[in-house]
Every structure is written in structure tokens, then in C-alpha cells.
């Protein structure tokens, strides 16, 4: 009987330890999920900024091309 009681106590202690470990893993998982969500939001924001910068640069390039083509031909060009 003493052996059964000891085995039951050991089993209960093991179950309690597993519960504690499960709770710790659940908390860690929640923290990782929250961090992942933050990283995704940050990546989305950076992607939007990148698109805006790219669009601005493309507009500047287009403007410079128009400006370049609208300049009068210089005397140096005529001499060639």
C-alpha cells in the first residue's frame, strides 16, 4: 500500500510539473506570436515606405528626363 501511495504521489508530482511546463510553453508561445505580429506589422510599414520612396524616385527620374529633353541644344553640340 505504501508503494502504491508513493507511486501515486510521484505521478501527481509529475503531472503537476507537466502542467507548469505546459503553462510556461503556452506563455512563451503567446509571447512569440505577439512578437511575430509586431514584426509583420513593421515589415508591412517598411514595405509601404519602400514603395513610396521608389515611386518618388521614379517620378524624379521621369522629371529629370523631361527636363533633359526640353533643354536647348548647346553650342558645343552643334560644333560636333
Report if residue 29 sits inside a domain.
yes
Report if residue 7 sits inside a domain.
no
Report if residue 40 sits inside a domain.
yes
Q: What average pLDDT does the chain have?
A: 91
pTM of the model: 0.60
- pLDDT tens-place string over residues 21-45: 999 999 999 999 999 999 999 999 9
In the chain, how many domains are there?
1
CA 78 to chain centre: 55
Report if residue 3 sits inside a domain.
no
Which residue range(s) make up the domain with 28?
A: 23-48
pLDDT for residue 50: 99
Q: How far apart are the first and last CA of the chain?
A: 112
What span, in angstroms and rounded, lies between the C-alpha atoms of 47 and 65? Answer: 27
Amino acid at each position: 500500500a505504501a508503494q502504491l501511495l508513493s507511486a501515486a504521489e510521484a505521478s501527481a508530482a509529475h503531472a503537476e510539473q507537466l502542467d507548469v511546463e505546459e503553462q510556461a510553453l503556452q506563455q512563451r508561445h503567446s509571447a512569440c506570436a505577439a512578437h511575430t505580429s509586431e514584426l509583420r506589422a513593421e515589415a508591412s510599414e517598411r514595405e509601404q515606405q519602400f514603395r513610396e520612396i521608389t515611386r518618388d524616385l521614379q517620378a524624379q527620374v521621369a522629371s529629370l528626363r523631361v527636363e533633359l529633353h526640353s533643354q536647348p541644344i548647346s553650342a558645343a553640340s552643334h560644333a560636333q
